[in-house]
Amino acid sequence: MRASLHPVLEFTDRPCSWQSMSDLSATSDPVLAGFRNSIDNIDAALIHMLAERFRITKAVGAYKAEHELPASDPGREERQIERLRKLAEDAHLDPDFGEKFLRFIIDEVIRHHEQAKQVG
């Protein structure tokens, strides 16, 4: 490192970090950058939660197959939807979206189970 009489100028001479692809928020607006950082943290949490959920549903699939339990349980699904709609409402989230989200996840679970059948 060499000394500089104009450290601030020298800093601004470099490419700004928000121009770099590695900086996700990529904006010169500090308020927008803050919002984007929060969104990115939440997205990372969501992805890890989903990974854990699918780990469990895979274990459920294996357990049900091993113990000859029925693969689907329509009553359980109905109760899950009812509960998630209520939770969504309490969190000021559109209950229809809450239900749509659960169906999106369940579709993926079914896809995993079908894949497992083809492999097994």
Q: How far is the CB of 65 from a second copy (least distance, A)?
A: 12
Cβ neighbours for 40, distance < 8 A, ≥ 6 positions apart: 24, 25
C-alpha closest to that of 72 among 56, 52, 50, 57: 57
Q: How far is the CB of 1 from a second copy (least distance, A)?
A: 30
Q: Where on the chain is the footprint of a second copy (CB under 8 A)?
A: 21, 24, 26-27, 29, 31-32, 35-36, 38-40, 42-57, 59-60, 63-64, 67, 69, 73, 75-76, 79-80, 83-84, 87-88, 91-93, 97-98, 101-102, 104, 108
Neighbours of 84 (CB within 10 A): 19
